A and B are shown apart, each in its own frame.
Chain A
Amino acid sequence: MGPPALYALLMLAVPLATIFAYTFWTQDGLTIDRTLTFSNYREAFNDPLYRQLMLRSVWIAGAVTLATVMTAFPIAYFVSFHVPQRRKALWIFLITIPFWTSYLIRVFLWKVILGYNGVLNTTLLGLGIIDEPLSFILYNANAVVITLAHAFAPFAILPIFVALEKIDRSLLEASRDLGETHLTTFLRVTLPLAMPGIVAAALIVFIPTIGDYVTPRLVGGPDGLMIANMIQTQYLRLNDAPMGATLAVLAMAIVAVISALVFLASRLTARIWA
C-alpha cells in the first residue's frame, strides 16, 4: 500500500492542499500576493455570475443524475433478472464499451446529432414528423443533460447491477410465497435491497458531472455553461489562479455537502424502512 498511497499523497493531497492555500491568496498582476484574505470567497459569493454558475451546475448535475439513474435502473434490472447467467458478462461489456471510447469525440458527436442541421433534425424532417428543426435540443441545458446522461450511463448501471445481483433470489420467492404480487415484491423487497446501489449510482454520477467541462462547452451554449468552464477561464484566460482555485474548492465543498446529505438521507430512510 505504501507506494500508491505515497503517490496519491504527493500528486493529490499536496496539490489539493496547494489550491486550498491559493484560495486565501490573490493575484496581483503577474505575481501572487500571499497576504491571507477572504476576498476571493467574498467575491465568489457576491458576484451574481459565479452564484448563477454554481446553482446551474448543481441543478444540471442533479437533473443528469435523476435522468441517468432513472433510465439506467431498468437496464440493470433487465440484465440482472432477465439475461441468462452466462450472457450477463457480455451485456455488461457491451454497455461499458462506449464509455471507454474518447469522451471528447462522443460529446462532439452529440453536437452533431442534436444540432440545428443535425442528424436528429434532418431525420425527423425527412420523415415528415416535424416541419421545422427543433431548436430546444442544442446549446442549452437540455443538451447538456442528454449528453451527460449518455456519458455517465455505465457509471449508473454498474453499481445498480451489482446491488441487484447480490439479492438472494429466494427472498423474492419468499415474498411471493407470503402473498405479495410481482409489483409489491418489487416495491417491498427488490427496491429497498437495491437502494445502496442506487445511492452509489446517484453519487458516482453526480460528483463528476458537477465539474464537467467539455459538455457544457460544446453543447451547452451560453445558457448551459457550468462552473468548470469558469474555473478554466480564470486559470487559462484571466490568469487569476486564486479565483479559479476558490471556485474549484467551492465546487468540491458543494459536492461534499450534497453527497454527505444524500448519504445520510439514504441511511435514515433505510432505518425508517427497517
Chain B
Amino acid sequence: MRGGGLRIYALIYLLFLYAPILLLPLFAFNSSQIIAFPLAGFSTRWFEELVTVDALHEAVLNSLFIAVVSAVLATLLGICAARTAARYRFRGKGPVLGFIMLPLVLPEIIVAVALLTLILQLGLDLSVWSVIAAHVLICVPFSIAILQSAFQNLDASLEEAAVDLGETRWSTFRLITLPLVMPGIISSLLISFTISLDEFIIAFFLSGTDPTLPVYLWGLLRFPSSLPVVMALGTILVVLSILLITTAEFFRRRGLARTGATDSGGFI
C-alpha cells in the first residue's frame, strides 16, 4: 500500500487528536468520583445530577441565547462581505477584508480585553449583549470563509441570466441566489452557533453576572468533587458540537453537489 509508514503515523495522529474527546464519555459514565483508571462501573448519576442544578439551567439559557443571536448576526454580516468579496473588485478590498478576518488569528484575550476596556470606558454594564458583540466579531471570519466559496461557485451570469429572462433583482435573489447559497448559509449558522456555544475566554471577561455554559464549567473545575459532573456536561457539549458540525458539513457538501462544483476540502 502507498504511504504505509505515513498511514500508520496518520492513524496515531488521529488518535492523539481524538484522545481527549474519546476519554470524556468514559469518565462521564464512570460511577467513581475520582477521574482515573481503572474505571469503577457504569453509571448515569452525573447526568442525573445535571438536571437538578438551577444555576446550570440559567447558564444553558444564556449560552443558547448568545449562540443563536451571534450566529444570525454573524451570518448576515458574512453574507454581505462574502458576496462583495466574491463579486466586486475595488481598491482597498484586500486590506478591508483582511481587517474583518483579523479576529481569526487575534488571540481571543485581546478581543476580550479590548471590548472590556471600551465597555468600562463608556460606563456600560456587562451582559449577554457584550458577549454577543464579541462573538459576532469572531464568528464573522468563519462565516465569510464558508460563504465565500458558496458565492464563488455561484457564477455571476446565473443572476444575469435570470434578469435577462425577465426577473427583477429581488425575485432573482429569491429564485436563484438564495437556493444556491442556502446550504452555505445553514453551514455558516451552525458553525457560528458552535463557536459561540463553546467559546470561553471572551465570555469569561464579558459575561458579567450572566455566565455562559463554559464560564459555569470553568467555575466547577475548581472543585474536585464536581469533576464527574463536568465530564457529563462536557460529553453533552461535545456530542452536540459534533452533531452540529456534521450537519454543517452535510449542508456544505449538498451545496457543492447542487452547483455541480468539485469538493476542495474542509471549511477553512
B35 part of interface (Cβ distance < 8 Å): yes
Across the interface, do A204 and B105 meet the contact criterion of CB distance under 8 Å?
Answer: yes
Across the interface, do A89 and B253 meet the contact criterion of CB distance under 8 Å?
Answer: yes
Instruction: Say which one of B115-123, B148-156, B163-171, B172-180 lies at the interface with A.
Output: B115-123
**Which residues 145-197 in A have Cβ within 8 Å of B in the complex?**
150, 153-154, 158, 161-162, 165
Across the interface, do B266 and A89 meet the contact criterion of CB distance under 8 Å?
Answer: yes
A96 part of interface (Cβ distance < 8 Å): yes
A66 part of interface (Cβ distance < 8 Å): no
Distance to closest chain B CB from A2 (angstroms): 7
**Which residues 81-109 in A have Cβ within 8 Å of B in the complex?**
81-82, 88-89, 92-98, 100-106, 108-109
Complex contacts, B116 vs chain A, CB 8 Å:
235, 241
Complex contacts, A212 vs chain B, CB 8 Å:
107, 109
Query: Which of the four size classes fits the interface of chain B?
Result: 35 or more
Across the interface, do A1 and B3 meet the contact criterion of CB distance under 8 Å?
Answer: no
Can you list 16 A-B contacts with CB-CB less than 8 angstroms, sorted by A residue number? A1-B80, A5-B100, A7-B137, A11-B133, A15-B111, A22-B117, A92-B265, A97-B242, A105-B20, A105-B230, A119-B37, A150-B20, A208-B106, A232-B109, A235-B116, A241-B120
Complex contacts, A15 vs chain B, CB 8 Å:
111, 114-115, 117-118
Instruction: Say which one of B11-19, B41-49, B52-60, B181-189 lies at the interface with A.
Output: B11-19
Distance to closest chain B CB from A185 (angstroms): 15
Q: How far is the CA of A207 from the CA of B134 in the complex (A)?
A: 19
Residues of A participating in the B interface, judged by any CB pair closer than 8 Å: 1-5, 7-8, 11-16, 18-19, 22, 71, 74-75, 77-79, 81-82, 88-89, 92-98, 100-106, 108-110, 112-113, 117-119, 122-123, 126, 150, 153-154, 158, 161-162, 165, 203-204, 207-214, 218, 228, 231-232, 235-236, 241, 244-245, 248, 251-252, 255
CB nearest to A77 among chain B residues: B6
Across the interface, do B105 and A208 meet the contact criterion of CB distance under 8 Å?
Answer: yes
Whether A208 touches B114, Cβ cut-off 8 Å, given contacts A1-B85, A75-B10, A89-B266, is no
Complex contacts, A12 vs chain B, CB 8 Å:
99, 102-103, 111, 114, 137
Distance to closest chain B CB from A5 (angstroms): 5
CB nearest to A117 among chain B residues: B36
Q: Give the residue of B76, B140, B221 whose beta carbon is less than 8 angstroms from that of A108.
A: B221
Other than the known A1-B97, A105-B230, what 15 A-B pairs have Cβ atoms closer than 8 Å? A7-B140, A18-B117, A71-B13, A78-B10, A89-B266, A93-B266, A109-B21, A112-B35, A126-B37, A154-B268, A208-B106, A232-B205, A241-B117, A245-B113, A245-B117
Across the interface, do B194 and A100 meet the contact criterion of CB distance under 8 Å?
Answer: yes
Complex contacts, A245 vs chain B, CB 8 Å:
113, 117
Complex contacts, A75 vs chain B, CB 8 Å:
9-10, 13
Across the interface, do A104 and B110 meet the contact criterion of CB distance under 8 Å?
Answer: no
Complex contacts, B107 vs chain A, CB 8 Å:
207-212, 228, 251, 255
Q: How far is the CA of A11 from the CA of B266 in the complex (A)?
A: 28
Determine the main DSSP class of B at the interface with A. helix
Across the interface, do B14 and A95 meet the contact criterion of CB distance under 8 Å?
Answer: yes
B237 part of interface (Cβ distance < 8 Å): yes
CB nearest to A205 among chain B residues: B105
Whether A109 touches B20, Cβ cut-off 8 Å, given contacts A1-B93, A5-B100, is yes
Q: How far is the CA of A8 from the CA of B84 in the complex (A)?
A: 16
Q: Which 10 A-B residue pairings sit nearest by Cβ, starting from the closest?
A: A211-B107, A82-B3, A109-B20, A15-B114, A92-B266, A105-B234, A4-B77, A4-B81, A102-B198, A1-B84
Across the interface, do A96 and B102 meet the contact criterion of CB distance under 8 Å?
Answer: no
Across the interface, do B221 and A236 meet the contact criterion of CB distance under 8 Å?
Answer: no
Distance to closest chain B CB from A97 (angstroms): 6
B238 part of interface (Cβ distance < 8 Å): yes
Complex contacts, B106 vs chain A, CB 8 Å:
207-208, 211
Complex contacts, B96 vs chain A, CB 8 Å:
1, 5
B200 part of interface (Cβ distance < 8 Å): yes
Across the interface, do B198 and A104 meet the contact criterion of CB distance under 8 Å?
Answer: yes
Q: How far is the CA of A229 from the CA of B38 in the complex (A)?
A: 34
